[in-house]
Structure 1
Amino acid sequence: MAEQLLEASQYELMLVKFKKHKLAMISFWLLVVMYLIAILADFVAPYSPLTRFGELVYAPPNTIHIRDEQGNFHAPFIYRRVSKLDEKTYIYSFMDDTSQRIPIKFFVKGEPYKLWGLIPGNLHLFGIESETPLFLLGSDKLGRDMFSRIIYASRVSLFIGFGGVLISFLLGILLGGISGYFGGIMDLLIQRLIEFIMSIPQIPLWMALSAAIPQEWSGIQKFLAITLILSLVGWTGLARVVRGKIISLREEDYVTAARISSASDMTIIFHHLLPGFTSYLIVHITNSIPGMILGETTLSFLGLGITPPNVSWGSLLQQAQDVTVIGFYPWLLYPCAAIILAVMLFNFLGDGLRDAADPYSH
């Protein structure tokens, strides 16, 4: 093993060190699971995000039982739920009909769907064969299953980070590299542009740009527009750091040797200078993705991002703006838990990648 490490490349050594970081590895595999769930949302979610159960408005989460009223053990099941409208307060109250057990099954046929909009199917990972719905995380003001809506919303909230980070990462490296390597008037113009963008308050800038998105655009068009908005204002910090790093490295002997050997300027920047601070670039990527997720959440929460009938974690939290509603229906805050989990996992993953890429870490 020691001999293999002596002959290993930089990236192979990084991989070995990363695998020793248990928290980062756990975070990596949990993120893989989250993204697989998002990709297979039609199959994983019991219902579509728009399916309504009119008599079960603001229904609390179902209690999953393994013992009945007589103390006998069964496979996981729920009781049939009965709703009753209070004619004075116009608030539904719910109770379980313990005479009717409804088993929870895996690979159940349910609502038809088209996986990725192409493959028709009606098989769901789990569900129940009954008109009574299964609400693992309760329902919203229109009687829609919160669990299914959170699963579908993860498609937007998780993948918007990758698109935004890719664009801002390329802009930051390209403009920061040009600014630091060439200097002069090019450096002056790029730095003044960065200072102008950074001087604008972030949330008002997001709001102004997102307000320019036509309301008649489809969900996909709005998704791409928000990705572009977040990336166009998210590259400045990386560009400044890249500029500083390149200024400190551009006079090194190996850069001078590359210049003498007729290497092009772009080759020197991307093949000789940028690899010198790989650890920072890796950490920046993993920390920027949760930043993009939070940015989209902020815009959608304010009503300027993803709008109905499309769903994201931020748009789901719009129902949680009223403190009174939260007092009666706290399960409307569950999208917050998904956001916090995703952000924490990316941060833990970033810590592990930073330690693996840092040659001085132990």
Structure 2
Amino acid sequence: MSVEMRPGHFVDPAPFDPGRAEPMGAESEAFDRASSWRLTWWKFRKHKVAVAAGLILLVFYGLIPFVEVLAPYNPAKRHGDFLYAPPQAVRLFHEGRFVGPYTHPYSFTFNLETFHREYTVDRTRVQPLRFLCRGEAYEFWGLWRADVHLVCPPEGGTLFLAGTDRLGRDLFSRIVAGARISLTVGLVGIAVSFALGLFFGGLAGYLGGWVDHVVQRMIEILRSLPELPLWLALSAALPPNWSPVLVFFGITLILGLLDWPGLARAVRSKLLALREEDYVRAAELMGASKARIIGRHLIPNFMSHLIASATLSIPSMILGETALSFLGLGLRPPVTSWGVLLNEAQNLAAVQLHPWLLAPILPVVVVVLAFNFLGDGLRDAADPYH
């Protein structure tokens, strides 16, 4: 309730604080009138780790449309004079004087005893980096040609932030380019899984009877099959002459088709509990169709739980693509993904001599952990009264 100071002037009650255990007065009224989405948001804000994970994922996915601008080189460009070059350090100070971001140039000698290139850094020369500059041309989103980059190599120098691979390709540029494929696989795969899970789980939970028995048997058959061998078998069945785009959609379809049973079971169990509610009976008496009751009345009541489940499923999609590509049965060059990059680091001798080839593991670990933390926070926030 409002407190009257003088005629015509009121002081609004304090907004509801989700950190207080027992809201009272105006806060209690705000709590009681709040929608389920607002209650979920209030509790999710208290989960600091989940909020930080959400911000990290927001940055990752927000940068996907601009990978060509972020990458200093074309991911396929080869630098013949810098095969297996180690990462270059970006420095700010030279001999105690601030000169801005710069690198030192490389020089190499070929060791005739080990048959390896040995790189040395010339610390006497300073090569400043260039920002928002014109560099190698690219096709932005495949629509028009552009050549603007966030950061460019120094004039006459190089910028290998994560080193180069066996063909002299810049590993950092390839990791940035691979983020678009690896992160998109998770979203497309979960969209397929989400649609199938809602459809079959909704039918089984609301209709029951023989429909429930058929769906349950389908789920049990799929869950009884070993996941990784099934992935391998279906991926190996893809025609080898398919284009990279078709292979991409084939892999996402496989991941989505094999992930829906868990979500369908969650939807079924919720609908079994909700279909006996009074508002469902009222909708039935008013002549609402089964599809409308499921889609407009039942599923929205536990959508927050579904979003939490979907968030926890996306990491398995990303890891699935990475594992299949690592084993050579997923995406293949010239497509660049984190799994394809790790496939090129299978040679243990090369990894021992050139450990920077394992750099694609870092974004995979960061993204998977961020999704797990975000999913935990959403799962806890899905029940604000708990």
Normalising TM by the smaller chain, what interval?
A: over 0.9
Contact 1:60 1:331 (8 Å CA) reproduced: yes
Deviation at 1:5, TM superposition (A): 5.3
**Residue 15 (str. 1) matches residue 25 (str. 2):** no
Find the partner of 2:143 among 91, 96, 118.
118
TM-score by length of 2: 0.88
For 2:119, the equivalent position in structure 1 comes to 94
3-state SS of 1:113 partner: strand
Aligned mates of 2:278, 2:322 — CA distance in 1 = 46
**Residue 162 (str. 1) matches residue 187 (str. 2):** yes
For 2:107, the equivalent position in structure 1 comes to 82
Aligned mates of 2:217, 2:47 — CA distance in 1 = 40
For 1:64, the equivalent position in structure 2 comes to 90
Letter in 2 for 1:214: P
Find the partner of 1:38 among 36, 40, 64.
64
Higher CA-based Rg:
2
Deviation at 1:271, TM superposition (A): 2.5
Deviation at 1:273, TM superposition (A): 2.3
For 1:317, the equivalent position in structure 2 comes to 342
3-state SS of 2:124 partner: strand
Deviation at 1:217, TM superposition (A): 2.0
For 1:180, the equivalent position in structure 2 comes to 205
Q: CA RMSD in A?
A: 1.7
For 2:132, the equivalent position in structure 1 comes to 107
Letter in 1 for 2:164: S
Cα deviation 1:27-62 (Å, max 9, x = unaligned):
222212111222100000001111111121111110
For 2:299, the equivalent position in structure 1 comes to 274
Letter in 2 for 1:100: R
Deviation at 1:245, TM superposition (A): 2.0
For 2:55, the equivalent position in structure 1 comes to 29
**Residue 218 (str. 1) matches residue 243 (str. 2):** yes
TM-score by length of 1: 0.94
Contact 1:37 1:151 (8 Å CA) reproduced: no
For 1:265, the equivalent position in structure 2 comes to 290
Identity %: 46
**Residue 342 (str. 1) matches residue 348 (str. 2):** no
Letter in 2 for 1:110: G
**Residue 54 (str. 1) matches residue 80 (str. 2):** yes
Bigger shift: residues 321-330 or 310-319: 321-330
Aligned mates of 1:102, 1:341 — CA distance in 2 = 31
**Residue 246 (str. 1) matches residue 246 (str. 2):** no
3-state SS of 1:234 partner: helix
Deviation at 1:295, TM superposition (A): 0.7
Contact 1:209 1:229 (8 Å CA) reproduced: yes
Letter in 1 for 2:298: L
Contact 1:59 1:138 (8 Å CA) reproduced: yes
Aligned mates of 1:27, 1:94 — CA distance in 2 = 38
Deviation at 1:136, TM superposition (A): 0.6
3-state SS of 2:104 partner: strand
Bigger shift: residues 346-355 or 86-95: 346-355
Deviation at 1:6, TM superposition (A): 5.1
**Residue 236 (str. 1) matches residue 233 (str. 2):** no
Aligned mates of 1:356, 1:107 — CA distance in 2 = 41
3-state SS of 2:142 partner: coil
Aligned mates of 2:168, 2:156 — CA distance in 1 = 14
Find the partner of 1:284 among 293, 309, 322.
309
Deviation at 1:7, TM superposition (A): 4.2
**Residue 153 (str. 1) matches residue 165 (str. 2):** no
Letter in 1 for 2:264: A
Aligned mates of 2:144, 2:116 — CA distance in 1 = 41
Deviation at 1:116, TM superposition (A): 0.5
For 1:202, the equivalent position in structure 2 comes to 227
Contact 2:39 2:384 (8 Å CA) reproduced: no
Aligned mates of 2:145, 2:34 — CA distance in 1 = 47
Aligned mates of 1:88, 1:55 — CA distance in 2 = 20
Aligned mates of 1:215, 1:207 — CA distance in 2 = 14
3-state SS of 1:93 partner: strand
Cα deviation 1:153-182 (Å, max 9, x = unaligned):
001100111111011111001101101221
Letter in 2 for 1:47: Y
Contact 1:175 1:190 (8 Å CA) reproduced: yes
Higher helix share: 1
Contact 1:108 1:128 (8 Å CA) reproduced: no
Deviation at 1:246, TM superposition (A): 1.6
For 1:134, the equivalent position in structure 2 comes to 159
